Structure 1
């Protein structure tokens, strides 16, 4: 056997191994060979005629944000912040409105005199009369706001109480009638209306009672809400301004059960609050963990509850010291905590909270940290995960080369 005969099989094996490896590496870059759900990033960004927007490099992002690691001080600062959807102090302090006559109200006016023979009671009335009084025909207050009294002319009723109108009419009749006394009665109120609409049993419009009415009482008049209190947002429109609060907060805090004012409109709407959970959360083997958007399903939800509802951390992927929560916080709250906020326009600052679940004390802190609507939880992968991904790419290539070498022998 010659030396060329000995070298030739070995060269053939090397060529087969090299060919198999080259084929794998070549096909890995072929867009049409490997399966895909759509075009890759180069196929979308490359042909664009105009490209705009630059988030900046990872190490120096264009959007600045604040990073806070959860500890007792951070928790206390967040808890001191008033929830974003509560009625303002002005609405809470508003007293019960004094209901006055308005356009459309129907009034009954009765005039009493001390004896017969006066202006309204003739001397020959006789004993069959029930008393020394006369009741005028009912009158509806028009846009002019006036009512008409015989022998006294027009009197302004709009914006007055019954007592004020009574004094005005009696004063005008004093020179003609015998010690006149006047009683003004509201027959039908068509002003000072309160409207309740939205996700309630029945839309309702009613007139505000002189004794006043509170927010929950108006909702009760409409038959109550269709959804649970923590899913119901109550909006009060007054004077061109609208403010909202969650019904569960109104039920718990009596100060939020506002006194209503004439012409208030109450809008009841369902507001399902959600949070997002991305990254290494959920069970790896689960076939139902498809939706990463989770409803609160309760009035309050802590960060610990949210992590548990998302399926917990994945044992084979998650880095327990890298649990992050993303939200926008008010600049005033951060500055009150002594945090130097980045120079950017607006009152809301992008903020990231980090929970180190390798520290046992963080288990208590995540139970006190309250979630908000549209919060985003992200759990980073452990460093070993990147190594496993690399090995998953390299091992099939090495196995293909070994298989080719075996077939060539």
Structure 2
């Protein structure tokens, strides 16, 4: 009897799966961190649905595809009539050219970090930011007066400037040349062998000069307005970053659950978590914990309370958009303590009852 009295007196100290709904509300009201409790009883208190994400990147008009920049390698062909300025091995051109016309192929020229190349007799020329036609005219003008009406042809042998770097969760990471400068971000990923994994779990990071922006890949693929044009020099990286929400309290399991798709409602989250435990969960005490921005842009803790014993709450839960890193909490039922006490007493007396039954069986 003494043991039973001790257990009855310790009822309030029995372990639970977490605080009850009233305990959460009471502790939040007394908290010094100004936690806001929102009783979700009608649609007017629902937080606004997340807006479509947009890039925070400079949107420049893509340059011509044959614009030259540092790192590019070009080939230069100089055609001369009469006495050639350039000596060395020459080959006579055929076709429509006059038989006296000679062509000189210069060694491949790489544009240096300053955007310059060196052409014999013409000297050092700055060609960065110019098209092939402009470079041809520049070289030709530099040779004027040194050769008889030279004609110049410049071609791109290796393209560095008009390219993007693609890495991360793609089939073929590396450098990719933009052929038209009208390729969109989704086109670049397709040309890089496609993405690996689920689009909703991937984050597309774009570095454009000093600017860096991130967007969920599913948003890029589903929203054509977000699928921006790739710009030469862009660096695209696909990162594995799934959307998750945490499940705590009287749900029967504590876990992190990935979003089933790009956007989820609270009712879908409750279903994915299995709902409150039938033996000790309280459907009147379902909470969402999150940080939200106030009017000044500061983060503040907010707790949304749903009473799922009310029919209207099911419709409100369908309109409540879940966010990444939300915490879904199932409150502990207030009747949970007595039930646990009964289980504990049952476990306490179970060995005694077993021994008593065995002794009675032997005496018979």
TM-score by length of 2: 0.75
Shift of 1:234: 1.6
> C-alpha distance in 2, partners of 1:373/1:128?
67
**Residues 38-187 of structure 1: pairs in structure 2 closer than 5 A:** 59-70=29-40, 71-75=42-46, 77-79=47-49, 81-82=50-51, 86-91=53-58, 93-98=59-64, 100-111=67-78, 116-117=81-82, 129-130=94-95, 131=97, 132=101, 134-137=103-106, 138-187=108-157
1:255 to 225, 228, 237: 225
The C-alpha deviation readout for 1:205-239, integer Å capped at 9, x for no partner, is 23343534322222222222221111112212232
Q: What is the CA distance between 1:29 and its match in structure 2?
A: 9.6
Give the conservation status (yes or no) of the 8 Å contact 2:4–2:345. no
Correspondence for 1:359: 310
Aligned counterpart, 1:233: 203
Specify the alignment match of 2:19 in structure 1: none
Give 1 or 2 for the bigger CA radius of gyration.
1
Distance 1:73 1:181 in 2: 74
| Number of residue-to-residue matches in the alignment | 327
Among 175, 199, 202, the residue aligned to 1:205: 175
Q: 1:110 to 1:313 in 2, by over 3 A?
A: same
Q: Aligned partners of 2:110, 2:122: CA distance in 1, in Å?
A: 17
* CA deviation map 1:234-256 (0-9, x unaligned): 21223244322221111101232
What's the counterpart of residue 274 of structure 2?
Answer: 311
Asked whether the equivalents of residues 94 and 258 of structure 1 are also in contact (C-alpha less than 8 Å), the reply is: no
Partners of 1:260 and 1:320 in 2: how far apart?
49
Residue pair 1:97, 1:260 contacting (<8 A) in 2 also? no
- By how many angstroms is 1:358 displaced? 3.0
Structure 1, unmatched stretches of 5+, are 1-19, 37-55, 282-288, 336-345, 398-409
Offset at 1:328?
0.8
Provide Cα deviations, 1:275-313, integer angstroms capped at 9, x if missing partner: 1222233xxxxxxx5443222132221100010111123
Deviation of 1:177 (Å): 4.6
Q: Tell me, which stretches of 5 or more residues in structure 2 are unaligned? A: 16-25, 349-364
Q: Report runs of 4+ in structure 1 exceeding 6 Å deviation.
A: 27-30, 390-397
Cα deviation per residue 1:170-205 (whole Å; 9 max; x = unaligned)? 333344455555332112213444222222223222
Does the 8 Å CA contact 2:28/2:35 hold for their aligned counterparts? no
Q: Alignment RMSD, CA only?
A: 3.7
TM superposition shift of 1:368: 1.9
Question: 1:119 touches 1:176 (CA, 8 Å); kept in 2?
Answer: no
1:392–1:147 CA distance, 2 compared to 1 (3 A) = closer
TM-score normalised by the chain length of structure 1: 0.67
